[in-house]
A and B are shown apart, each in its own frame.
Chain A
């Protein structure tokens, strides 16, 4: 196993379109790094550049001590799991697993031993003599993981491997892959993993660290808790968390120590929970508050925003309440047992943010200046 380093890696296509803008990323040995972002953020392109399936037009990719820019995929010491499994349809599972080893002309006994070991780990022994078309989605996915595992690569690359599975299977495969990663680590052969997904649940539950990307730029690289609690910018704040963070324009005014946030003519006092963190003078800002950090109070309460209910979503254990404050719509999550069943659309309610959990972003750049 080895560490993976991306130094100022760029990708510009023949037509001049720049997909990746000089990104730097360091994945430590044995680390599970998740690349996450919306469609078109170049996360898959980045992964494919690491794999060698896309050329790198600038910067360098290092695996261990070696710069691999000009190495073919087979020589980079990587293994990849594809979204649509990419199993060879004419080969049985056994041959699919051992194809890489056979190409390297490994001794027959070693191939058989490795096949048996990997199929044991992934519980696919009984599938070895089947063709890919005789496998279910979950089985095919396990075979695809096995094909990567058998090579004992320096770095594992996963390209949205679970997006073709149904929700239930996805959840169980998620656990399987993280378990496998932990198990390899405990057995003293940690696996360096780069895992691409657009699903933030996968990102948050699987990654040691998460790299959030947008339009070919890295927005933030951090562990899941930091990403959730201390998002570096409005994009990360909005992308991570369900339902997504409420991001609304507001105006910060007043002197240090007595600042207020104004939106739609309503004023929130910046209390001692937030004030010391602010590193920005008065002016227009974007206020960020997670739906879980808004308390439902009666309308016109002090230090609360008053709005009108536009929608109520009953989720069972909680209720997502949508309330319109001025032009902005806030979502507030209320536990079902604390929810007043008499409330309905059109009612006026107060939303009181927990000020210490508020985030304030630069209105222009989106940078979070409430982290200090």
Chain B
């Protein structure tokens, strides 16, 4: 019978001191990672400092903001938030947030639905004029926004849509954002068609295939699209500025500017406080969807 000593012993950790070469290599690794991380931290801090300062300054008093470049408030107060929320108009910021949501939500939903439909059509079906239509779609990507501002304005004026939110979200319901259509097409191209064919063999029609098979697979891409659209629309200033004229209908982006327009000395802490609040929805939505978002933008080309 074999005794314990017959079996090879598990190698024990070496007890002898590391050689000079090993020491040198270790030291070199340590030095290089120290330099690397220090550099990254410094650059990272420089980039994020304005944001940190913004948040800090929103808790400062108006006079302190200009007296100290350091972000930490000496006497933190919520005064900026309280004052800012009230605004100089008859409406509170709550109204402006609701207004923003009235633009953002229909726009995001419309974009997700219409861009998916259009992308699915381009990626999976053959129809007359497909090439030329796709070329036009891509060409609009290259067109600067300003070029279409005036014709669009005239069009919406004729439709009687001025001072409503329709000009801001209606184009999104018609897949007006070529970039998102392109993004979903690229994602779809990387997905093997067999799954859709299997669904058709299983008896699904085109709509069912799209809804039950394609959309779930496209989820990361669609979430990315929604996220981009959410952030861009929340931050959009020019669109509402052109089409919205009644203060009651102002979204957050315009309302922020409103506080600066006041004739008396600006309450910078209120403006900064409301800026922080205006940033919050985008940040919250981003962190909630972060996983899918990164999957969506990084796996477009390699999926499947």
Which residues of A pack against B, CB within 8 Å?
A: 51-53, 72-75, 78-80, 82-84, 86-90, 99-100, 103-104, 147, 151
Interface flag for B190 (CB, 8 Å): no
A73 contact set on B, CB distance < 8 A: 197, 200-201, 203
Interface membership of chain B positions 192-207, coded 1 if the CB is closer than 8 angstroms to chain A and 0 otherwise: 1011011111111100
* B217 & A89 in contact (Cβ 8 Å cutoff): yes
Known: A89-B217, A90-B217. A74 touches B197 (CB 8 A): no
Of A75, A82, A100, the contact of B197 (CB 8 Å cutoff): A82
CA separation between A51 and B212, bound complex, in Å?
21
**B residues 212-264 in Cβ contact with A at 8 Å:** 212-213, 216-217, 219
A72 contact set on B, CB distance < 8 A: 200, 205
A51 contact set on B, CB distance < 8 A: 197, 201
Ranked nearest first, the 6 interchain pairs of A and B with the lowest CB-CB distance are A74-B203, A86-B194, A100-B202, A90-B216, A86-B198, A73-B201
A53 contact set on B, CB distance < 8 A: 197, 200-201
In the assembled complex, the CB of A168 is this many whole angstroms from the nearest CB of chain B, namely 25
Known: A73-B201, A82-B197. A103 touches B208 (CB 8 A): yes
Whose C-beta in chain A lies nearest to the C-beta of B192?
A84
CA separation between A209 and B18, bound complex, in Å?
71
B217 contact set on A, CB distance < 8 A: 89-90
CA separation between A104 and B210, bound complex, in Å?
17
Known: A80-B198, A82-B197, A82-B198. A88 touches B203 (CB 8 A): no
CA separation between A89 and B217, bound complex, in Å?
7
Whose C-beta in chain B lies nearest to the C-beta of A84?
B194
- Max chain B C-beta neighbours (<10 A), residue from A72, A75, A79, A83: A72
Of B197, B201, B216, the contact of A79 (CB 8 Å cutoff): B201
In the assembled complex, the CB of B211 is this many whole angstroms from the nearest CB of chain A, namely 11
B216 contact set on A, CB distance < 8 A: 88, 90
B198 contact set on A, CB distance < 8 A: 80, 82, 86-88, 147
CA separation between A79 and B201, bound complex, in Å?
6
Of A52, A83, A86, A103, the contact of B204 (CB 8 Å cutoff): A103
**B residues 160-208 in Cβ contact with A at 8 Å:** 192, 194-195, 197-205, 208
Residues of B in contact (CB 8 Å), total 18
In the assembled complex, the CB of B42 is this many whole angstroms from the nearest CB of chain A, namely 41
19 A-B residue pairs with CB within 8 Å: A51-B197, A52-B200, A53-B200, A53-B201, A73-B200, A73-B201, A74-B200, A74-B202, A74-B204, A74-B205, A75-B203, A79-B201, A82-B197, A87-B195, A88-B195, A90-B216, A100-B201, A103-B208, A151-B202
Of B192, B194, B203, the contact of A103 (CB 8 Å cutoff): B203
In the assembled complex, the CB of A335 is this many whole angstroms from the nearest CB of chain B, namely 44
Whose C-beta in chain B lies nearest to the C-beta of A151?
B202
CA separation between A88 and B192, bound complex, in Å?
11
CA separation between A251 and B193, bound complex, in Å?
52
In the assembled complex, the CB of A303 is this many whole angstroms from the nearest CB of chain B, namely 55
* A88 & B197 in contact (Cβ 8 Å cutoff): no
In the assembled complex, the CB of A137 is this many whole angstroms from the nearest CB of chain B, namely 15
In the assembled complex, the CB of A89 is this many whole angstroms from the nearest CB of chain B, namely 6
In the assembled complex, the CB of B304 is this many whole angstroms from the nearest CB of chain A, namely 9
Known: A86-B194, A103-B208. A80 touches B203 (CB 8 A): no
CA separation between A70 and B216, bound complex, in Å?
29
In the assembled complex, the CB of B215 is this many whole angstroms from the nearest CB of chain A, namely 9
- Max chain A C-beta neighbours (<10 A), residue from B197, B198, B201, B203: B201
Of B192, B199, B205, B219, the contact of A99 (CB 8 Å cutoff): B199
CA separation between A88 and B208, bound complex, in Å?
13
CA separation between A104 and B208, bound complex, in Å?
12
* B202 & A103 in contact (Cβ 8 Å cutoff): yes
In the assembled complex, the CB of B134 is this many whole angstroms from the nearest CB of chain A, namely 17
A103 contact set on B, CB distance < 8 A: 202-204, 208
Whose C-beta in chain B lies nearest to the C-beta of A86?
B194
A87 contact set on B, CB distance < 8 A: 195, 198
Whose C-beta in chain B lies nearest to the C-beta of A14?
B126
* B201 & A89 in contact (Cβ 8 Å cutoff): no
CA separation between A79 and B203, bound complex, in Å?
10
CA separation between A147 and B212, bound complex, in Å?
16
Further 9 A-B residue pairs, CB within 8 A, beyond A82-B197, A84-B194: A52-B200, A78-B201, A79-B201, A82-B194, A86-B195, A88-B199, A88-B213, A89-B195, A104-B203
Whose C-beta in chain B lies nearest to the C-beta of A153?
B201
A88 contact set on B, CB distance < 8 A: 195, 198-199, 212-213, 216
* B201 & A80 in contact (Cβ 8 Å cutoff): yes
Whose C-beta in chain B lies nearest to the C-beta of A72?
B200
CA separation between A80 and B199, bound complex, in Å?
10
B199 contact set on A, CB distance < 8 A: 88, 99
A75 contact set on B, CB distance < 8 A: 203
B194 contact set on A, CB distance < 8 A: 82-84, 86
In the assembled complex, the CB of B242 is this many whole angstroms from the nearest CB of chain A, namely 41
B195 contact set on A, CB distance < 8 A: 86-89
B212 contact set on A, CB distance < 8 A: 88, 99
